[in-house]
């Protein structure tokens, strides 16, 4: 049976339902630690002014949240940032929308009051303190709940001065990017007890994962693939710079032993003065750019897999037998993002897997 998609709109602050609409040209994306976009059009039949008025009631500028439902289950959610009502020369009318997951909202709210230092605290509690601080303002309370897990990694939360105006996403991302950091993603879930819709910040240490390995193959669910290697983005030597301080130069001994030459990279953290924090950033940053640097791209028929947005962080085992790999190749990657395009006019329901 073909998957059925609907898009529901609700007030961002109230979460009260505004409308439930069919969408055309829809695609939506989810990523670990970054905002994922959604776009699409709501067609309006000629003469249907009642339906047109309902579409016109949807607001952009984050006042409205869009939810994508697949077969009655919420798969995606985030604020609507832009809305365009348009009519073409033939009288066709539609409302087009662009939205993004709640990471996009965390990036648009800046620290307005000082966050005092918090010594000797689990990094997950520090992460939750950012969300709690933002949502203490009722005008910025978007109803995000947080996972309650602990990491066992104790850190000192430094003073965050309102004068520096960091966004809540930047504070959260910088904390997560430290050596022995964590992963996060905002998602829309269904409460297993009440069945109510939830907006949730999922936290994972050291990574997000359910422990499941998803298996896909060609021939099979894989429609297309590419395996690039981008040496322009790789580095074997890295220094992190801060405010008046630098880390030591960190080098990748394993890459040198494998025959890779020295290639340098500098990362900047202009608000950080603590050397230990800079060293932790440098260690984590070097691991992210280790050669061979390449991000495989794989497109699958979604209905031929068991992959959902809740699988972000899981392992994906890929097996390919074709002209490029006549003897076959098998490799395992992590699923760190996905872009879904529902079936439309004979097109398969597809999913582009973002792997590392």
- pLDDT at position 346: 73
Residue with tokens 């006019």: 345
Spatial neighbors of 71 by CB under 8 A, at least 6 apart, are 3, 4
pLDDT band at 184 (very low <50, low <70, confident <90, very high): very high
Helix H segments across 14-122? Answer: 49-56, 103-108
The domain limits of the chain are: 5-101, 110-204, 213-228+295-355, 233-288
- pLDDT at position 1: 56
- pLDDT at position 292: 79
Spatial neighbors of 249 by CB under 8 A, at least 6 apart, are 237, 238, 239
Decide: residue 300, CB within 10 A, 0-12 exposed, 13-18 middle, 19+ buried. buried
- What are φ and ψ of residue 113, in 5° steps? -130, 150
280 pLDDT higher than 60: yes
Task: State the Rg of the chain over Cα.
Answer: 22
Q: What is the mean pLDDT of residues 53-81?
A: 95
Distance CA 268, CA 227 (A): 30
Task: Please give the C-alpha separations between residue 219 and each of 295, 300, 302, 343, in angstroms, as whole numbers.
Answer: 21, 11, 15, 20
CB 55 within 8 A of CB 84: no
Helix H segments across the chain? Answer: 49-56, 103-108, 123-135, 168-176, 253-257, 275-288
- pLDDT at position 310: 95
257 pLDDT higher than 60: yes
Q: Dump pLDDT digits (tens) for 294-341.
A: 778 899 999 999 999 999 999 999 999 999 999 999 999 999 999 999
- pLDDT at position 89: 76
- pLDDT at position 79: 98
Q: Dump pLDDT digits (tens) for 70-102.
A: 999 999 999 999 999 888 777 778 889 999 999
Q: Dump pLDDT digits (tens) for 195-242.
A: 899 999 999 999 999 999 999 999 999 999 998 877 888 999 999 999
- pLDDT at position 45: 87
Distance CA 124, CA 121 (A): 8
Decide: residue 111, CB within 10 A, 0-12 exposed, 13-18 middle, 19+ buried. buried
pTM: 0.84
- Looking at mean pLDDT, say which of 250-254, 274-278, 286-290 comes out highest: 250-254
CATH architecture designation of domain 110-204? 3-Layer(bab) Sandwich (3.55)
Task: Please give the C-alpha separations between residue 320 and each of 219, 227, 308, in angstroms, as whole numbers.
Answer: 7, 12, 22
- pLDDT at position 272: 87
- What are φ and ψ of residue 232, in 5° steps? -70, -15
Q: What is the mean pLDDT of residues 256-269?
A: 95
Give per-residue burial for 56-72: e unless 16+ CB within 10 Å, then b.
Answer: eebeeebebbbbbbbee
Q: Among 290, 230, 295, which Cα is nearest to 254's?
A: 290
pLDDT band at 115 (very low <50, low <70, confident <90, very high): very high
């Amino acid at each position: 049976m073909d998957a059925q998609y609907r898009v529901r709109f609700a007030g961002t602050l109230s979460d009260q339902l505004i409308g439930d609409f069919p969408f055309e040209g829809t695609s939506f994306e989810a990523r670990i630690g970054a905002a994922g976009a959604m776009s699409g059009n709501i067609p309006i039949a000629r003469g249907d002014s009642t339906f047109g008025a309902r579409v016109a009631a949807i607001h952009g500028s984050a006042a409205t949240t869009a939810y994508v439902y697949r077969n009655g289950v919420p798969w995606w959610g985030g604020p609507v940032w832009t809305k365009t009502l348009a009519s073409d020369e033939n009288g066709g009318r539609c409302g087009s929308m662009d939205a993004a997951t709640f990471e996009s909202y965390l990036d648009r709210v800046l620290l307005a009051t000082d966050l005092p230092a918090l010594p000797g605290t689990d990094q997950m509690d520090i992460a939750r303190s950012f969300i709690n601080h933002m949502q203490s303002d009722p005008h910025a309370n978007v109803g995000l709940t947080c996972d309650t897990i602990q990491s066992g990694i104790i850190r000192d939360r430094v003073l965050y001065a309102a004068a520096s105006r960091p966004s809540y996403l930047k504070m959260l991302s910088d904390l997560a990017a430290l050596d022995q950091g964590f992963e996060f993603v905002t998602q829309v879930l269904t409460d297993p007890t009440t069945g109510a819709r939830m907006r949730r910040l999922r936290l994972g240490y050291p990574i997000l994962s359910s422990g499941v390995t998803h298996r896909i193959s060609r021939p099979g669910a894989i429609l297309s693939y590419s395996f690039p290697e981008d040496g322009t983005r790789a580095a074997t030597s890295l220094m992190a710079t801060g405010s008046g301080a630098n880390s030591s130069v960190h080098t990748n001994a394993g890459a040198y032993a494998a025959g890779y030459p020295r290639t340098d990279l500098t990362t900047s953290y202009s608000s950080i003065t603590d050397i230990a924090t800079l060293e932790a950033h440098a260690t984590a940053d070097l691991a992210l750019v280790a050669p061979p640097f390449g991000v495989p791209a794989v497109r699958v028929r979604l209905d031929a897999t068991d992959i959902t947005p809740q699988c972000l962080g899981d392992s994906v085992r890929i097996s390919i037998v074709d002209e490029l790999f006549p003897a076959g190749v098998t490799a395992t990657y992590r699923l760190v993002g996905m872009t879904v395009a529902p079936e439309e006019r004979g097109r398969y329901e597809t999913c582009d897997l973002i792997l590392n």
